[in-house]
């Protein structure tokens, strides 16, 4: 049994590229794995709970990919069970590129980043779009009561595969809250030194 990640992504052309560039043998381990890696473990659940943004990719009917940033308060991406995640889709620029793409092709790919700790989780899934008039309980579950943004729909993702990426080439970046937390001891030391003058 291969990992679900390998089943989805290791197409004949990808395998040919791996052979061409010398990584086919190393990557074949994904095809020999016994764990399909398509269920969330505590590690992924904890990681998802701490994210305040992610990138999502969809594909249009014309075959063009579209990558979009999604953001909100920490924890806006919710784990519904070990194969399902979802989020309240807030009103944006009303172009509806991702939603339109998902109505034609329900496949989605997510990249969740933790820049500060140089971690990256990739998720492949299929989407179901939920609306308040037909699934109010689900939208209430996805909502973030403290976040003042208009929810237009819920995006529910059935996880088909997941994979952790190596940290190579991830440049550390920090949120304003992380920087503020890091400088607390420095600010305390500055105040202490001021008292000595």
Q: In the predicted model, is pLDDT for residue 15 greater than 80? A: yes
| Direct distance between the N- and C-terminal alpha carbons of the chain, in angstroms, rounded to an integer | 69
- Residue 37, sorted as left (phi over 0), alpha (psi -120 to 50) or beta, turns out to be left
Q: What is the pLDDT of residue 1?
A: 57
Q: What is the pLDDT of residue 165?
A: 87
Q: In the predicted model, is pLDDT for residue 150 greater than 90? A: no
pLDDT digits (tens, 9 = 90+) for 22-57: 999 999 999 988 899 999 999 999 999 999 999 999
Mean pLDDT of 127-140: 95
What residue ranges do the domains of the chain occupy? 1-36, 38-187
Share of the chain above pLDDT 70, in %: 99
Q: What is the pTM of this model?
A: 0.91
Whether the CB-CB separation of 83 and 152 falls below 8 Å is answered with no
* Topology of domain 38-187, CATH: Pnp Oxidase; Chain A (2.30.110)
């Amino acid at each position: 049994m291969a990992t679900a990640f390998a089943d989805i992504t290791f197409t004949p052309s990808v395998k040919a590229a791996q052979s061409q560039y010398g990584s086919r043998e190393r990557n074949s381990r994904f095809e020999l794995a016994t764990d399909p890696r398509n269920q969330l473990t505590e590690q992924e659940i904890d990681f998802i709970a701490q994210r305040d943004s992610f990138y999502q990719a969809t594909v249009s009917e014309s075959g063009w990919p579209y990558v979009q940033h999604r953001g909100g308060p920490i924890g806006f991406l919710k784990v519904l069970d070990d194969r399902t995640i979802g989020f309240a889709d807030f009103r944006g620029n009303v172009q509806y590129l991702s939603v339109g793409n998902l109505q034609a092709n329900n496949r989605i790919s997510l990249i969740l980043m933790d820049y500060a700790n140089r971690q990256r989780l990739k998720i492949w899934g299929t989407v179901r779009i939920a609306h308040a008039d037909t699934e109010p309980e689900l939208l209430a579950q996805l909502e973030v009561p403290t976040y003042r943004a208009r929810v237009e729909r819920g995006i529910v993702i059935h996880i088909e595969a997941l994979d952790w990426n190596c940290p190579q080439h991830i440049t550390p970046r920090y949120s304003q809250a992380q920087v503020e937390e890091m400088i607390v001891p420095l600010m305390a030391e500055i105040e202490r030194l001021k008292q000595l003058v």
